[in-house]
């Protein structure tokens, strides 16, 4: 599978957070914005953009995990989590320079964007009213 | 229970106690949430004769069925209380992340009563309610207060609603700000909060919102998002609401110099087009809104500190602080709006009150002794800014103007009530009703006083559904339907800017309600809920001293003509207004005195209210 990621055009983003609603409904079957894999961040008044996993080559999250709960799968081109191994220690959260890892406080496990693997289009990209989100293919090399 | 929480929080600031109360299915279905639920709770808890600034006046924040879901433009809350301006029902809406936090903390509403001895703020952490000392925050602006509480909490999830100095000083039209820059603006809820010595309400809500049918909700919402992009793009996304300046100026409905005229010679200088060309910084959206109409402007202002202004500005604020006061300089208007926000006072009432003072100055009723030497002439931008500051601090003439135009004119006397532009004590917004007859009716009978947003009847005038210069039998019914629709929007809650994105509002909105809550709701049920909510507002008003004479317009609108297309002059006659009001009462099924008959209340399923001994 080709590596892909979702990118946000900050010029189009209005900060409406509908991407967070779409993500949490798709992944959690409820509206729990804290568990959304995509997040709206604000720099100044009205200066918003979305951040999420950039599928970087460093794999700092995978490397930081002390229990080998996170792995990078070349088949799906996503970071996969073995929930049984995850203890919610938060090392991956600290390691990720993009703030992409999400902690579920109730189950003490983490979650991260998988570009809605298995769906024809990621939920956030499909529902963004401003069309600010797009799927970007990353070169293999 | 889906989406709804089925409970609300009652906080007594006198005893510093909090308890949870239940909310049943049937009450929620009957009153929906938002303004409807807030009005219902206020009706139960505000005894007759309560002064709005007494500890016994409950300050209610109501969430709703769609809030917290992906339903478009639904991240809102209603603030409902007995208004210090009108002494009648006061309700105001605001949108933002604070609204989402209220819902995710697990409550459909907060009811705040009593009065603290010393300044406090509430810190609601899901199930835990803390009363915290606010001495250090007293005197600060809402935005600064929000920043300070959030940085102390060290958690970005904490959201804050707060009052500024205007609320602390009991300016009768003080507002409650949330997210640092959004306001529940009209009818003076900020003064009620100030009277309770409650500086702020900080909430961290972490509980998810579950809906009855998420897949169906997603399908319905996706359709609405995409239709919203086609509808109203120009008005909302393009120029934003300042788009109205040139439109209203063309049809002589842009209130100028305190309603002395309906067109402003400097209109082009303060138009949406001019703003977009010169100082538009960004267009942003409230949470869950696919439209995004909030225009943020940035400009430098040539004053003592040559400051850089960065603020949102909507048409309502622009018209009141601009043409109403004869101001044709954009940077002054932006500066004025920012100053209102930092004092935490309603821009519309503030501009209107200053316009009244300017006209009084023009007529020699107020002179330089009254104004501390300020030349309070129409068009004097520096005087406008000074007055706003005086109002927020309740100093000098500001102390009089902080009472609102109705009380200011009563105190001042000398016929100054002839140009006090309010109905029921609420200062009028920027749509001149002389050239918009349905709007005239809406402003006269408005259940929270003179404002356009609780009926949106100006739409009928503006889109030429009817001849806005005429008046006919049947328009009373049209206004009633508009008011009932508005009550549904305000209670579901959905922002009225989404109006045109629905193909057939009642069935679609009823469908959204059902997929969110799992409670069966037909288009007919929903229409009836709107009617019920407005009748309850009316019954509340009657209980709290409403008189038939309150349903009327200021004398100027019924005596002085407004010039239209240079040759024609238009006046609204008392006979025409009286006929419109009678037609409206008949449509509502009210008596000719404007009272709600017992049979009407039974028909609307309000028997439980009757049992409490009111008729």
Report the distance separating Cα B159 and Cα B97, nearest Å. 7
The C-alpha atoms of residue B27 and residue B431 are separated, in whole angstroms, by 36
Q: Which range is least confidently modeled, A18-27, B40-49, B562-571?
A: B562-571
Q: Do A22 and B70 touch (CB under 8 A)?
A: yes
SS3 A83: coil
**Chain A, nearest residue to B223 by Cα:** A127
B90 pLDDT higher than 60: yes
Average pLDDT over residues B587-613: 90
- Chain B stretch 371-410, residues whose beta carbon is closer than 8 A to a beta carbon of chain A: none
Cβ–Cβ < 8 Å for B255, B267: no
Helix (H, G, I), strand (E, B) or coil at B282: strand
pLDDT at B59 over 90: yes
| Closest Cα in chain B, distance from residue A139 (Å) | 32
Phi, psi angle pair for B339, to nearest 5°: -65, -40
With contact defined as beta carbons under 8 Å apart, do B432 and B262 qualify? yes
Whether chain B has a CB inside 8 Å of the CB on A10: the answer is: no
* pLDDT, averaged across chain A: 94
What is the rounded CA–CA span in Å between residue B346 and residue B33? 24
Q: Do A46 and B206 touch (CB under 8 A)?
A: no
B98/B104 Cα distance (integer angstroms): 10
CATH superfamily of B7-204: Aldehyde ferredoxin oxidoreductase, N-terminal domain (3.60.9.10)
The minimum CA-CA distance between B214 and chain A, rounded to whole Å, is 7
Instruction: Compute the nearest-CA separation of B68 from chain A (Å).
Output: 7
**Category of A46 on φ-ψ map: left (φ > 0), alpha (ψ -120 to 50) or beta:** left
pLDDT at B613 over 50: no
Please tell me whether residue B160 adopts helix, strand or coil conformation.
Answer: strand
| Beta carbons of B68 and A127 less than 8 Å apart | no
Which of 3.40.50.10440, 2.140.10.30, 3.20.20.70, 1.10.599.10 is the CATH number of B433-612?
Answer: 1.10.599.10
Q: What is the Rg, in whole angstroms, of the alpha carbon atoms belonging to chain A?
A: 15
Q: Give pLDDT tens digits for A93-111.
A: 999 999 999 999 889 999 9
B283–A32 C-beta distance less than 8 A = no
Burial of B73 (0-12, 13-18, 19+ CB in 10 A): buried
- The chain-wide mean pLDDT, for chain B, equals 93
Model confidence at B231: pLDDT above 80: no
| Domain assignments of chain B as residue spans, ordered by start | 7-204, 222-420, 433-612
Q: What angle do CA B222, B226, B227 make, to 5 degrees?
A: 115
Gap from B222 CA to chain A (nearest CA, Å): 6
Domain covering B222-420, topology = 1.10.569
- The token duo for B270 is 């303060």
B206 shares contact with chain A (CB less than 8 Å): yes
Q: Is the pLDDT of residue A141 over 70?
A: no
- In chain B, what residues touch A25 (CB-CB under 8 Å)? 70, 214, 217-218
What are the pLDDT digits (tens) for B112-123? Answer: 999 999 999 999
pLDDT tens per residue, range B374-396: 999 999 999 999 999 999 999 99
Q: Hey, are the CB atoms on A14 and B229 less than 8 Å from each other? A: no
Which residues does B384 contact at the CB level (< 8 Å), separation at least 6?
A: B321, B325, B327, B332, B336, B354
For residue B209, what is the nearest residue in chain A, using CA coordinates? Answer: A31
Q: What is the Cβ-side half-sphere exposure of residue B7, based on CA atoms within 13 angstroms?
A: 13
Residue of B nearest to A29 (CA): B214
Asked if A129 has any chain B CB less than 8 Å from its own CB, the reply is: yes
Q: What is the structure's pLDDT at B251?
A: 87
Q: How is residue B305 annotated by DSSP? A: T
- Residue B609 pLDDT exceeds 90: no
Beta bridge partners of B279: none
What's the rounded Cα separation, in Å, for the pair B548 and A118? 65
B487: left (phi over 0), alpha (psi -120 to 50) or beta: alpha
Chain B partners of A35 at a C-beta cutoff of 8 Å? 208
B570 has pLDDT over 80: no
pLDDT 10s digits, B498-538: 998 999 999 999 999 999 999 999 999 999 999 999 999 99
B7-204 and B222-420: same fold? no
Cα–Cα distance for residue pair B68/B220, rounded to 1 Å? 16
SS3 B561: coil
Cis peptide bond N-terminal to B531, omega within 30: no
Residues B42, B58: Cα–Cα separation, whole Å = 7
- Tell me if the pTM is above 0.80: yes
Q: Which residue has the higher pLDDT, B422 or A106?
A: B422
Interchain CB distance below 8 Å, A17 and B292: no
Residue of B nearest to A124 (CA): B222
Cα B317 from Cα B172, distance rounded (Å): 17
């Amino acid at each position: 599978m080709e590596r892909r990621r979702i990118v946000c055009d900050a010029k189009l983003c209005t900060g409406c957070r509908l991407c967070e609603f779409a993500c949490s409904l798709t992944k959690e079957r409820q509206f729990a914005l804290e568990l959304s894999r995509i997040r709206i961040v604000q720099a100044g008044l009205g200066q918003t953009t979305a951040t999420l996993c950039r599928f970087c080559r460093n794999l700092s999250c995978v490397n930081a995990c002390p229990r080998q709960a996170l792995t990078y799968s070349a088949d799906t081109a996503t970071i996969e989590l073995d929930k049984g191994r995850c203890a919610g220690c938060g090392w991956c959260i600290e390691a990720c320079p993009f703030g992409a890892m999400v902690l579920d406080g109730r189950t003490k496990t983490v979650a991260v964007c998988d570009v809605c693997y298995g769906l024809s289009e990621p939920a956030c990209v499909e529902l963004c009213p401003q069309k600010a989100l797009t799927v970007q293919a990353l070169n293999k090399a | 229970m889906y989406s709804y929480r089925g409970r609300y929080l009652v906080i007594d600031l006198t005893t510093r106690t909090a308890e949870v109360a239940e909310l049943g299915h049937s009450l929620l279905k009957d009153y929906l949430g938002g303004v409807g639920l807030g009005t219902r709770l206020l009706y139960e808890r505000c005894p007759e004769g309560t002064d709005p600034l007494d500890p016994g006046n409950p300050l209610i924040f109501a969430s709703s069925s769609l809030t917290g879901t992906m339903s478009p433009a639904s991240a809102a809350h209603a603030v409902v209380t007995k208004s210090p301006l009108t002494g009648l029902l006061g309700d105001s809406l605001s949108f933002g992340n604070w609204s989402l936090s209220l819902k995710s903390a697990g409550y459909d509403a907060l009811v705040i009563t009593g009065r603290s001895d010393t300044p406090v703020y509430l810190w609601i952490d899901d199930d835990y309610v803390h009363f915290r000392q606010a001495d250090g925050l007293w005197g600060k602006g809402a935005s600064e207060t929000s920043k300070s509480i959030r940085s102390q909490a060290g958690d970005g999830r904490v959201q804050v609603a707060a009052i500024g100095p205007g609320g602390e000083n009991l300016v009768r039209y003080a507002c409650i700000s949330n997210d640092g820059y959004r306001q529940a603006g009209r009818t003076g809820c900020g003064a009620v909060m100030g009277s309770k010595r409650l500086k702020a309400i900080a909430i961290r809500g972490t509980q998810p919102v579950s809906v009855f049918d998420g897949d169906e909700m997603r399908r319905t919402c996706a359709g609405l998002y995409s239709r919203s992009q086609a509808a109203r793009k120009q008005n909302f996304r393009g120029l934003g609401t300042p788009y109205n300046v040139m439109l209203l100026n063309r049809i002589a409905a842009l209130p100028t110099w305190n309603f002395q005229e309906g067109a402003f010679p400097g209109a082009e200088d303060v138009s949406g087009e001019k703003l977009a060309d010169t100082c538009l910084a960004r267009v942003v959206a409230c949470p869950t809104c696919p439209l995004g109409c909030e225009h943020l402007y940035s400009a430098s202002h040539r004053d003592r500190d040559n400051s850089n202004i960065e603020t949102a500005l909507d048409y309502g604020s622009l018209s009141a602080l601009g043409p109403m006061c004869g101001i044709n300089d954009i940077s002054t208007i932006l500066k004025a709006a920012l100053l209102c926000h930092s004092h935490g006072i309603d821009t519309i009432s503030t501009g209107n009150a200053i316009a009244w003072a300017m006209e009084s100055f023009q007529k020699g009723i107020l002179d330089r002794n009254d104004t501390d030497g300020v030349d309070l002439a129409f068009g004097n931008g520096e005087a406008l800014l000074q007055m706003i500051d005086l109002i927020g601090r309740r100093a000098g003439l500001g102390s009089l103007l902080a009472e609102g135009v109705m009380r200011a004119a009563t105190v001042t006397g000398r016929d100054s009530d002839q140009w006090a532009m309010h109905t029921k004590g609420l200062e009028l917004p920027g749509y001149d009703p002389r050239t918009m007859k349905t709007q005239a009716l809406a402003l006269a009978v408005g259940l929270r006083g003179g404002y356009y947003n609780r009926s949106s009847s100006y739409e009928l005038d503006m889109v030429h559904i009817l001849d806005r210069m005429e008046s006919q039998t049947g328009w009373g019914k049209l206004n009633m339907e508009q008011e009932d629709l508005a009550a549904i929007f305000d209670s579901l809650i959905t922002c009225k800017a989404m109006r045109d994105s629905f193909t057939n509002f009642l069935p679609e909105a009823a469908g959204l309600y059902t997929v969110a809550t799992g409670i069966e709701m037909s288009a007919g049920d929903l229409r009836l809920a709107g009617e019920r909510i407005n009748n309850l507002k009316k019954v509340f008003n009657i209980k709290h001293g409403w008189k038939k004479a309150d349903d009327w317009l200021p004398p100027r609108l019924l005596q002085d003509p407004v010039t239209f297309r240079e040759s024609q002059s238009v006046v609204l006659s008392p006979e025409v207004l009286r006929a419109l009001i009678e037609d409206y009462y008949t449509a509502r099924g009210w008596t000719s005195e404007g009272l709600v008959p017992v049979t009407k209340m039974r028909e609307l399923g309000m028997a439980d209210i009757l049992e409490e001994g009111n008729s």
